[in-house]
Structure 1
Amino acid sequence: MIGVWPESKSFSDEGLGPIPKKWRGICQTEKENQDNFHCNRKLIGARYFYKGNEAGNERKLNASSRTARDSDGHGTHTLSTAAGNFVPGVSVFGHGNGTASGGSPKARVAVYKVCWPQLNIFDLGCYDADILAAFEAAISDGVDVLSVSLGSSKPSEYNDSSISIGSFHAVANGISVVVSSGNSGPLPKSITSSDPWTLAVAASTIDRDFASYVTLGDKKIFKGISLSGSSLPSKKLYPLITAARARVHNASVNYALYCGYRNLDPVKVKGKIVVCLYGDDNDRLEMGVEAARAGAVGMIIANDKDSGNELFSDLHILPATQVNFEDGTHIFNYANHTKSPMAYISKVKTELGIKPAPLVASFSSRGPNSVAPAILKPDVTAPGVDIIAAYSEDAPPTYILNDKRRFPYLSLSGTSMSCPHVAGIVGLLKAVHPDWSPAAIKSAIMTTATTRDHVGRHSIMDSSLEKATPLDYGSGHVRANHAVNPGLVYDLHVTDYLNFLCDHGYNSSQLKLFYHKRYTCPKSFSVANFNYPTISIPHFDHAHPQTVTRVLTNVGPPSTYEVHIRAPPQFLVSVEPRKLSFKKRGEKKKFKVTVTVKPKSKHETDYEYGFLEWTSGKHQVRSPIVVRFPH
């Protein structure tokens, strides 16, 4: 978990008196850590929380391991993505070379370590007690933004989630909380971050590939993806064999096909390129370990049907590349039906200007929101595939236990990587607009996001090159330069979130988990009128029109806005009033949106998508509309 203070909030030891408690830095001992930051005067802090882990496992952590040191690499990577300074000459094996920086360079940061190794260094456990303790510390330390790249594997009720409870307290104290949406896509309802008070981020690609091409003996060429640290010595062709044909005599075909441990026969594999099948249950890097053990000179990983087009730039220990399902099918057919199949794997090459981009990553969790269907999730999407950032040199770059390699920078993929991108943007907005609430900042990012690709001609697609929807990317792909001046925002306050929980059925005793003061639920409240920057109608009654209200707050100059509507295909959408005139900053205006079904609608689809946009000529304030027919 990462806390960020914008650069404008800076103190030094010279001439400004005592640094406030919330700006104190790294605790050198466990006692200092427990003494709530009464330690060195540095502007980068690192704290650790482990008592929940010890209680849950009924064992004490080794005294030498009770430290904020990053032995996994994940925290270092997300931290530098959120707030790393400008560093020239960053690359991985010389690939992707350039100047790297975080979203809020020069920001002051604090790290809160809550996850600890269980059975081995790659098996991390994050206990609720430690997560809540970290939230409490971050609130006490006075951070402005929290980047939380951790979560559960399945949706849960708010009072069952330490992240939901902790983030509510943070937002109630004016701290923006950005979270990962989850890596369980593309299954629907896989989104794990349903809180309306947090900003949930999906993952999308960037316009850069680390390409490694496969050339077959029939001269067909297929593009693969890799970050192998080694390459084949020349452009000559090498014998090609499928893993199934290379299996040891007592191995099953299916298990050997996935290059399972000790399933390849060195006599059959040595000096050849082996083709392995990839699916959800096997590890791509371990496949390379097995291929190398058997003496392969290279490896081609071919996706199975379910894995489709999703490719990963892995740091393989031998020359290797991963190809999509269609290309892999051709390679398997060639290898299985050619008398003497041959192939070559090219050296990795950085390719820029990849089109189309961005694509929503296949692994990125999808909506709809199963806990609160009226709240569209994810909120936005941001870069989360093949992201190069700093990495702990105390951690191996792979999950291979005997991997002795160490790197200062690494390429990783996941919504853990997209989350700090947005946290960095939030840090910049907080520096420019320190008086904005977390909801106002969130609205600015959401309503200025784009649903077009990077050249602005086509809608964002998913990894299968099908048109993506708001259930995939939320309001769209973030645009930091637009978010700083959104014109209008949909604002919310702590009482709005409490009313939301009331509507969700929470009673006074349950609300105490979220709010330190006693709160009485209102007699009437409709979640349809919850002032969220999106409009989601999860149970549309085709016999009756449905009306929702929203309130916009002017954060720009005096302006008049007109509404533009693209209704979901089988619906009619009207907005009243159609013009909003703001005479001063801070002025609020209410409008109503009425949705009716078109006559003779066939109800053949589940979800329908549209949007409404308030336009002043200078500003465009866009909100997706998602409507679901009842079944």
Structure 2
Amino acid sequence: MASTSASPETVQEYASPRDSHGHGTHTTSTAGGVSVPTASVLGLGSGVARGMAPGAHIAVYKIPLQLAVFEQWSMGFQLYVQQGNNGPIQNSVSNEAPWIATIGASTLDRKFPAIVQLESGQFLYGESMYPGNRFASTTKELELVYVTGGDNGSEFCFRGSLPREKVQGKMVVCDRGVNGRTEKGLAVKESGGAAMILANTAINLEEDSVDVHVLPATLIGFDEAVRLKAYINSTSKPGARIVYGGTVIGKSRAPAVAQFSARGPSYSNPSILKPDVIAPGGHPWLVPMLVGIAALIRSAHPRWSPAAVKSAIMTTADVTDHSGHPIMDGDKPAGVFAIGAGHGQKPHLSDPGSDMGGAGFVNHDICLFLLVDCLTGL
């Protein structure tokens, strides 16, 4: 995406595929970036980073409308888009045109523990990529404060909403939502706070989002947030410390459906399964994962149509996690409206099971919009 804004909170587009925001560079390197040894985020998650199809030629265009996308598809272009961030609400999927490969989000098997240890002895699980989490360590115990009341957004830690006399040198609790997660930490730091606990609300529930913070901080789930606030209200001088655990890999079941990943079925196109597949990461970084896989398939089978490539991805997708059990969606096995055909992976390049031409999609749209009975048309 091209943007003239230097702020990650604001995106201002301009008429060029050039990237001044950094986001497009990030996603294209995910699709075709070359290998980089010992890559990490401030020392966390160190390893070899590479794109799905290292060294692939990358052609960058502005994001087109769905009908323009159909024209591109007809000319042989591979089209992969995100399905949206409105999960886990049913029928929240977007980009549901049948000629588009619509990708949902899944989780990874790595964790960056940053556990809150309350003075009462309770432990609340959280995660953080604060630079101090490179190695197992513990912050000193600080007084806890949760600033509420008024209409200035102090519970969300808006910049300028936290009275210095209330937060100076303390660990500040900030509710998630409205403003940016790292922006909250900056507001705490500017007001003299020493650390932050970012607390999920009923909107986010247990969804995790691991960020690089500007001060010692961690994100806790909604259940932990309820316990934290109950503890704060139970004592006159609550205290806590953050216990960092570094990088932990392979201890949690993955992939699982990300809570924020939009769910099908499509309201406007219920006869077409959406999403098509899921892939690891957040939107839209998961899209270049599939773009890279498509590039590998196309390089091995240059005469395959876009539908054949998409079919190969879908018919080789996995419906189990790394433990061999069904991919989970929260506390239950994931259904097709959460994962589509399954988790996209580098396929064995088997023959595709379906190869629909453009005429088939045109007939489908005629049936859809003219409300004609077309059960025999596809």
Question: Same-fold call, TM > 0.5?
Answer: yes
1:369 CA drift (Å)? 0.8
Other-structure match for 1:104: 53
d(CA) in 1 for partners of 2:354, 2:18: 40
Other-structure match for 2:141: 237
1:345 CA drift (Å)? 1.5
Asked if residue 194 in structure 1 is aligned to residue 96 in structure 2, the reply is: yes
Contact 1:226 1:348 in 2 (8 A): no
d(CA) in 2 for partners of 1:440, 1:243: 56
d(CA) in 2 for partners of 1:493, 1:213: 53
SS at match of 2:117: strand
> Of the candidates 481, 485, 498, which is equivalent to residue 362 of structure 2?
498
d(CA) in 2 for partners of 1:233, 1:187: 38
d(CA) in 1 for partners of 2:315, 2:109: 23
1:376 CA drift (Å)? 1.0
| Normalised TM-score (structure 1) | 0.55
SS at match of 1:200: strand
Other-structure match for 1:362: 259
Other-structure match for 1:434: 302
d(CA) in 2 for partners of 1:370, 1:102: 34
Higher relative contact order (CA 8 A, sep 6+): 2
> Of the candidates 72, 76, 82, which is equivalent to residue 21 of structure 2?
72
Per-residue CA deviations over 1:140-192 (Å, capped at 9, x if unaligned) read xxxxxxxxxxxxxxxxxxxxxx1x11221111112221111112222221111
1:280-359 correspondence to structure 2 within 5 Å: 281-347=178-244, 349-359=246-256
> Of the candidates 104, 109, 114, which is equivalent to residue 212 of structure 1?
114
d(CA) in 2 for partners of 1:49, 1:460: 37
Contact 1:503 1:527 in 2 (8 A): no
Bigger Rg over Cα: 1
1:480 CA drift (Å)? 1.4
Q: 1:353 to 1:506 in 2, by over 3 A?
A: same
Other-structure match for 1:526: 374
> Of the candidates 292, 303, 322, which is equivalent to residue 454 of structure 1?
322
Per-residue CA deviations over 1:382-419 (Å, capped at 9, x if unaligned) read 001xxxxxxxxxxxxxxxxxxxxxxxxxxxx32x1111
1:529 CA drift (Å)? 5.2
Asked if residue 274 in structure 1 is aligned to residue 172 in structure 2, the reply is: yes
d(CA) in 1 for partners of 2:126, 2:54: 33
SS at match of 1:505: helix
Other-structure match for 2:276: 379
d(CA) in 1 for partners of 2:367, 2:15: 42
d(CA) in 2 for partners of 1:185, 1:421: 20
1:480 maps to a residue whose letter is K
1:247-266 correspondence to structure 2 within 5 Å: 251-252=150-151, 255-266=153-164
Contact 1:303 1:309 in 2 (8 A): yes
Other-structure match for 2:40: 91
Asked if residue 424 in structure 1 is aligned to residue 253 in structure 2, the reply is: no
Contact 1:500 1:527 in 2 (8 A): no
1:273 maps to a residue whose letter is M
1:465 CA drift (Å)? 2.7
Q: 1:298 to 1:360 in 2, by over 3 A?
A: same
Q: 1:92 to 1:105 in 2, by over 3 A?
A: same
SS at match of 2:80: strand
| Normalised TM-score (structure 2) | 0.90
1:328 CA drift (Å)? 1.3
**RMSD across aligned positions (CA):** 2.6
SS at match of 1:276: strand
d(CA) in 1 for partners of 2:38, 2:17: 28
d(CA) in 1 for partners of 2:373, 2:75: 24
d(CA) in 1 for partners of 2:132, 2:352: 52
Q: 1:83 to 1:213 in 2, by over 3 A?
A: same
Other-structure match for 1:389: none
Per-residue CA deviations over 1:421-474 (Å, capped at 9, x if unaligned) read 0111100111111121111111111122122122112x2122x33332111111
Asked if residue 467 in structure 1 is aligned to residue 333 in structure 2, the reply is: yes
> Of the candidates 158, 174, 177, which is equivalent to residue 76 of structure 2?
174
1:526 maps to a residue whose letter is C
1:16-35 correspondence to structure 2 within 5 Å: none
SS at match of 2:204: coil
Normalized per residue, the structure richer in strand is 1
SS at match of 2:112: strand
1:104 CA drift (Å)? 0.8
d(CA) in 2 for partners of 1:282, 1:365: 21
Q: 1:493 to 1:105 in 2, by over 3 A?
A: same
Q: 1:170 to 1:66 in 2, by over 3 A?
A: closer
Contact 2:114 2:244 in 1 (8 A): yes
Per-residue CA deviations over 1:37-91 (Å, capped at 9, x if unaligned) read xxxxxxxxxxx899xxxxxxxxxx99xx876542212101110111111111211
Per-residue CA deviations over 1:91-135 (Å, capped at 9, x if unaligned) read 1111111111111111111222x3xxxxxxxxxxxxxxxx44xxx
Contact 1:203 1:418 in 2 (8 A): yes
1:488 CA drift (Å)? 4.7
SS at match of 1:82: helix
1:439 maps to a residue whose letter is A
Contact 1:242 1:336 in 2 (8 A): no
SS at match of 1:99: strand
Contact 1:227 1:348 in 2 (8 A): no
Contact 2:3 2:20 in 1 (8 A): no
Q: 1:173 to 1:328 in 2, by over 3 A?
A: same
1:546-557 correspondence to structure 2 within 5 Å: none
Other-structure match for 1:227: 129
d(CA) in 1 for partners of 2:374, 2:3: 39
